[in-house]
Structures are given as structure tokens and as C-alpha cells.
A and B are shown apart, each in its own frame.
Chain A
Amino acid sequence: MRSSPVPKNFPAVLVIGLVLLGVCVIASLALGSRLVRFHELIDGLFHHQADSYGASVVRKRISRTVFSLFCGAALGVSGSLMQSVTRNPIADPSILGVNTGASLFVVCGIAFLHIGTANQYIGLALAGAAITAVFVYGIGSMGRGGATPFKLVLAGAATSAALSSLVTAIMIPRSSVMDQFRFWQVGSVGSATWSAVAAFVPFLIAGMLIAFMTAPALNAMALGDEVATGQGVRTGTLRLVAALGGVLLCGVTTALAGPIGFVGLLATHVIRLILGPDLRFVIPMSAISGAVILTVSDVCGRLIGSPGELEVGVVTAFIGAPILILLAMRSKMRSL
């Protein structure tokens, strides 16, 4: 008989997660088109006066690493929230089209309003993400049976395709915009600056707070709206708040790094497979797994693309797409 509902393997999973996170951080600092030696790594991290080339490379990679950890954590938690809100195991910002909505607004901002500061990017991306989320959810809930997983994914894919073509249509005639935008659009953490990291922090904290505070009620909602209402959850309010958290986290990541797909999906899935469905544990661990997945993908992109680099958005799409297909097939079979 268990005395508390903490999953038995949670301590072990937490420790493994943190160790992996540490390994990722070291890898992200040391690996890339220029490999750094151990003493250079130490110099770069701890000896500010050291001015070897290696040490300065390491210092440049610190902000990039922090940024990719934040983005990964935000995407992981955003995925968990969206999966709970839509009660859909394959929900992810990129699959629901929320990323693309954020992209469209940012492109419009670049093309028509000549935006350039991080806060302008964030504002527009959040607006685009929120509007798209509402739109896709609205379309997905039309007809019989409400917002079923299948209809949501279909609505998300269709919306995403339509918005992508709009993005292209706006970009193509404007070659000056192209350059600014092309890099952003693939999804990359390479250009991260400390000011981008600083702009990220308040949104990350707000989104995480929402996620942690709604987790117990989301657990209740996982048993169906009727059970949740019977347990005293205001399901309408909860959906709205949790969706807001998800959109906030994904929107701000998209604003600063560009659209990065599948991280939320993968991060949450791996954790749910290992820990079970209790969101009070799934959400914090998804932050860790998301950070690990994104940082590993970034390091892989640097190694594969060397001497240049492959943007992290490309890497996650390559890993994520086949896994999505697998999961979709599995969930379809379950529902049959």
C-alpha cells in the first residue's frame, strides 16, 4: 500500500534527468564547429581574464546554451499544457498551427511595420499564437463530438498550411525582409544574446507558474469534464488559463527562436511513458526533457552542419515527424 501518490520511479527519473541536463550543458559548451579542450572550457567558464580563442568560444556559447535550455523547457511544458487542454496525446504547438500563426504575425511585423526589438517580436508572436489557438480550437470543435483529437490535428494542419503559404506570399516579393526572416523562420537558438534571454525570463516564469498551479485541476479534467466538475473544477476557466499558459510559453519561444516543432510532443511523451499520467510530475519533468531534447538537437545540428551549422528547427523536425506518425497510428488504433 502506497502512502503517497509520488510515482515510485520519480526520484530516479529526476536524478537521471538532471544528470542528462548537465551532460547537455557541457556538450553544448564544448562541441560545435570548433571543439573546445577541457582546460579551455574551464577557462571560459570560470577565468574571466583568460583570453585564449577556445575560452572566448565557450563564453559565446554560454548564452546560446542558456537560451536553448529555456526554449526547450518552455516548449516541453507548453506541449504538456496543450495536450491536457485538448485532451489530445499528439497536441503540440507546431501540430496545432500555433507556431505558424506566431510566424505569420512576426513576418507581417517585419514586412509592414519594420519591427526589430525582442519585445516587438514577442508581442506580435503572442498575439498570432493566441488568435491561431482560438481559431484552430474553434474549427476543431465544430460538428459532432466536440474537439476530438483527430479533428483538432486536421484543423491545425490545414490552418498551418494556409498560414505558411501566406507567410511565403508576403516574403517572396520583399528580398530585404527575406534575409532577416529566413534565418528566424527555421527555428534557431544560434543567434541568442543575453538580451533575448532576459526578455524570455518573465514569460517563462509566468508560463511555468500557470503550469504548476493548474496541474492538479488538469489531473481532474483528464478524467472527463463531468468528473472534474463533480470535483469542484471550473472547467471553462481552467481550459482558458491553461491554454493561455501554453500559448504564452510557445509564443515567446517562437518569437525569439523561430518556430521549433515537435519538442513539446516528444518531451511530454517520453515522460508520460516513463512516469505515467500524473501532471504534477509530468509537467516539471517535461521542462527538463524538453531542455535536454532541444539542446541535444542543437548540438547535433552544429556537428552535422560543421563547419557551418544546421538550424535546430530542422533537426527537431527530422526526429519528430516520424515519431508523430508512429504516435498518431497508435492513438488511432486505440480509439478503434
Chain B
Amino acid sequence: MPGTLAIRNGYVFDPLNEIDGEIKDIFIKDGKIVEDLTGAGLRDAKIIDAHGKTVMPGGVDSHSHVAGAKVNTGRMMCPEDRYKWVTKKSDLTHSGSGNTVPSVYIQGYDYAKMGYTTVFEAAIPPMEARHTHEEMRSTPILDMGGYLVLGNNWFIMRYLKAGDIEKAAAYVAWMMRTHKAYGIKCVNPAGVENWGWGKNVSSLDEPNIHFGITSREVIHGLAEVNEMLGMPMSLHLHANNLGHPGCWEITRDSLDVARDVKVECNMDVEWQKTKIDPERTQSVYLAHAQFNSFGGTSWMDFASGAKGIVDYVNKSDHVVIDNGAVPFGPATVMTGDGPAIHNLYKLTGNKWSNKDIELECGSGILTFNYLKANPVHSVEWAIGLELLLLVNDPWKTILTTDHPNGGPFTKYPQLITWIMSKKAREATLAECHKWAQDRSSLGGIDREMTLYEIAILTRANPARTVGIAHRKGHLGGGANGDVTIYDFDPTKFDVNDYTKVIRGFQNAAYTIKDGGIVAQNGEIISVPHGRTFFSEAHMDDGIEKEMLKDVKEWFKYYTLGFANYPVPDKYLRNPAPVVVNKPLEAIVGR
């Protein structure tokens, strides 16, 4: 029977249920995890012998750039990223190419081979939502969703400046439904608008051009709106001054802006009972912390600023970070932070692209190559690892490369070796420019993460942080039947055998999605169509009407007509709406 499976005798790592390597059977019926399979169910089930293997929930990537206009521009401007990385078609799979920015098919296959079943695109410019959905629906296997870029949106800035938080919330709710987006992304708040005038902002309290709003006001306002609606995930923040020496300070201060915002999820979903509360506890989720943790005051005295961020995160309960690590080698940097990319262009002279997204945001793309011999790059590598190793509570950290900014997601297995093995770090440190040793604390860190912690950083916590732990990131009854089996025997696991660790995490023994095997030992076995998650958020009807009047009035500044703005239903193959702030429960002026 399809979607019905019994995974026998594996060592199970399921952190949301506090299962740490127990030998246990996992059962899936009709695509969902069940406590037990009996009689006919068991008779029809496909049996997988996981004896001597590691069993985890399917991987969840909460921050990756895999769909939409900037990703595709990254593909188009880099033929050199493709011609040496080609995959031919098979009877089952599509052909494709690309290293740092693979084509959509390859992205789906490569994530699935690594044991990931769910990936979120971390930046959708609203005007490019259609393009983003086109790529998400063409990405095989993966369940996906995306975050809408709102930190420099004219309507948001106008409402927040006027103190009209309800209209701002009504706008966000309408935008989520209109563009079928999942959460709120805030990139260089107030600064990208200034980039339209060739400028930026460099502090939290600097009013921007025309709108006169500050970064502090945007961050606080959006965080408030987020909780007013009860969105699945918290604000995903890309702080100001990214990539500048000394930016760790404004990053810490930005996190503090959301400290007083009370977390409130208001999703109409069925929560499973897990040992650890599956609801998020953070009011701000810091994106690619590495790029925002630079120390020093210039490139001459550049150093890791991780300590400042780590100290703050360790004493705060309202923050989760993803690290945005740099695993060395080619990358394509792409972000809504146009001025940050321009700055990198001036430093490197590499190929650069820039775009202004009208009333909404901006973007920049640049080719990049991180080198061990480069002093700054070597420190960036160290920062990315410090951030994971020095934050005590793994439930506050998520492992990413901010694909493809720090490097491609296919380097996750390499990253895992560095956080699991001090010896692996030392081996790479020895190959790095001496700044990595001298200007970071990495060399002095003894911590070696366990498989249980890896399961937190790569599935349980990303799922909880983005509010999808009611169905993903754990193996309790009712969860989606997404399971990864790695060919590691935890009782004989040697963290210092990096080749084996990398190979094992690169090619899961089995990746199971909704109870079907999608990948086995690096080979794609089946190619189901994934879902697209989005927040069907609601606000008071009356406020929404007033808000829409404003939107229509200012639509004259857009280059497209209002009727062509929304993403039509047909752009989603398997829509998976999450009802947020259900109309009956919407309370006016809460």
C-alpha cells in the first residue's frame, strides 16, 4: 500500500519527542506517522530494516534561496557555474546543471538525496511572487513556501510611520493571501528604500528618505504585526549594515528591538502532542547571523564579532538564529539588500547585478569565491561555526549556508563535520589564513555536537522556528511521514572519519516523504510533487477595505495593473494554506 511503511530497529533521533538514539520502530500509514501498525496495516506495509542505522525526521531548511527572480538571474549571469556541473536525465529524473545555483530540478533531487523534504525560499519580492511560485511548483519532491520581503515596502512604511498598526496588519494579511506567501522577511529595514537614492542607513534611529521611518520602527512594527496576526513564523530579520566590519553591534541592538513583542501563534491547525512544545517561542529569527556578526572597525582590524551576538542570544529567549556559514569555495551572493551587494562589488570587482523592485524592495547579485588563504573569508568561516558552537541551547540555532550566499546547500555535510569534530575544525584551521585562528575564538572551542543536536539544528528547530512543527520536524503520531535514514551506526560512529560523515549526510540511505521512498543511497527513487505552504491570514474586513483603498490609490506608482498583481491559484500545484487569525476569531483593535 503506498504511503504505508514500517521502519524497523533504527536508532531514532527525534528531539521534539526527546528521543535520543533509542532503538525504535517508526510506522507510517497513508503518508502520516502513526504510533503503531497492526493487522492488515502491517501486512500491507513496506518494511525497511534500519538496524544499525540512524533515523531522523525529514530535514527542514528554513533559509535557502532556491526560487524566483534573483535566483534565476544568478543562474543566467553565471554560465561558468553550469558547464562543469551537468546531470543527464534518467527515465525518472530531469536533466539539469549548476553548482552554486543549480536548476530547479537538481535542487529538488540534491536536497532529497541529503535527507531534506521541506525547504523555504527566504525572500520573495511581492512583484516577483508569480515567478517564485513557478519555480517552486517545478521543484520536484520538496514541500516549499516562501517569505515575503516587506521591510522597505511603501505601504508598510507609511502605515507604521503613521502609527496605523492595524492597517499594516491588514495589508500584511492581504499580501500573504494575494501572493500565497508564508511569512514576513525584513531585509535591511529602511535602508533599501534609501538605496533607490544611492544611499543607505547605518543606524537603527536614522529616518529614511521620504518616509522618515527608522529601522527600529520597521522592525518593531513588523514584529508586532506578525504577532497581532499570529503568523506561523516570527519575523525573519536581515539586519542593517550587513557585511560591514563592526556590524555585530547593530545586529544585537536590532534583536533587542523585538524583545518586548509578545509571541502569539494563531494558526488553525491540529497540533500534535510532542514532549517539547512544538510552538515557536521567538519573536525574531535572525537570518544568516554570520554576515551580521563582523567585528573590528575596518578591514584592517577585522575580526569575529560572534561573541557579542552569542552573549546576547544566550541570555535571551526571544531569538533564534540561522548561521549562514561559509564552507569555502564558489558562491553566488544574492539578497534584497542592494547596497550591501554594491559594497561587495566595489571590494571585489566581480560580476554584479542590481534591481529596484518599485514600491517594494530591491536586490543585488554578485559572484563570489571564498578562499581559505583570504584573511577575511577565513574569519567568516570561523564566525559561522562559532555561532553554532557557542550558543548553549541548540534550540536557538539552525544550520544553513544561506544558500547560495555562504556556499551551496550541498556543503551542509561538510559543515556538519566541523560542528561534530574538533579535529575536523583543527584540520581546516591549519589550512586557513592565520586570522581564522588569531581573530576568532574557534581554535579554543572544544564542543562537539552530537547526532541529537544535529537533528535539532537541521530539522526539529527549523520546523519549530517557522511554525510547521505541527506536521514536520518530528516523528510523533500525526506528523507527516517524512523520515531520513542515514547509514551511521551511532554506537560505532566516528566523528573524525570526515569522509564517511560527509558521504553519509550527502547521500541518505533512505529519504522518505509522506511515506514514500524518494531517494536511496544517492539515487532518486520517486518524484512526487511537493506542497506549497502559505499563510491564509485574515484581519478585520472593515480595516481591510480601508487599507485596499489606499493600496489602489498608490497602485498608480506600479508598472503593472492591480488586477495582474495577485498570484492566481493555478500557480500552485498542491496548495497547503495555513489559516491564520481565522475570521471568526479576528478581534478588532486587539
Partners in one complex: no
Chain B interface (Cβ within 8 Å of chain A)?
Answer: none
Chain A interface (Cβ within 8 Å of chain B)?
Answer: none
